[in-house]
Amino acid sequence: MHKRRSIAPAVILFCATALTGELIVRAFKVPTYIFPPPSQVAIALWRGFASGVYQKNLLHTLLETLLGFLFGSALGFLR
């Protein structure tokens, strides 16, 4: 029960921020190529996960991130 109480404010803040962003984008008719509404972002994420695109490329992205971190750290130590 205690954990649920600590998560609730974060969930409420996230929902309020997403709703505010959605309302602002639609009220001011901001073009989607400048700032897409959160609903379109959520739909794109869902389609990406459902199609398997993210899972297929996850290993390569993690490997590149790790190698970049290691090379960057090595260069930082050499300097």
Contact call for residues 11 and 3 (beta carbons, < 8 A):
no
Strand, helix or coil for residue 28: coil
> Is 31 in the same domain as 45?
no
Number of domains in the chain: 2
> Range of 76's domain?
38-79
Q: What percent of the chain has pLDDT over 90?
A: 87
User: What per-residue string of b and e applies to 24-33 under the rule 16 or more CB within 10 Å gives b?
Assistant: ebeeeeeeee
Rounded-to-integer distance, Cα 27 and Cα 24, Å:
5
> Is 44 in the same domain as 79?
yes
pLDDT tier at 6, thresholds 50, 70, 90: confident
DSSP conformation class of 16: H
Given this model, what pLDDT does residue 4 score?
Answer: 66
> Is 57 in the same domain as 42?
yes
pLDDT digits (tens, 9 = 90+) for 43-75: 999 999 999 999 989 999 999 999 999 999 999
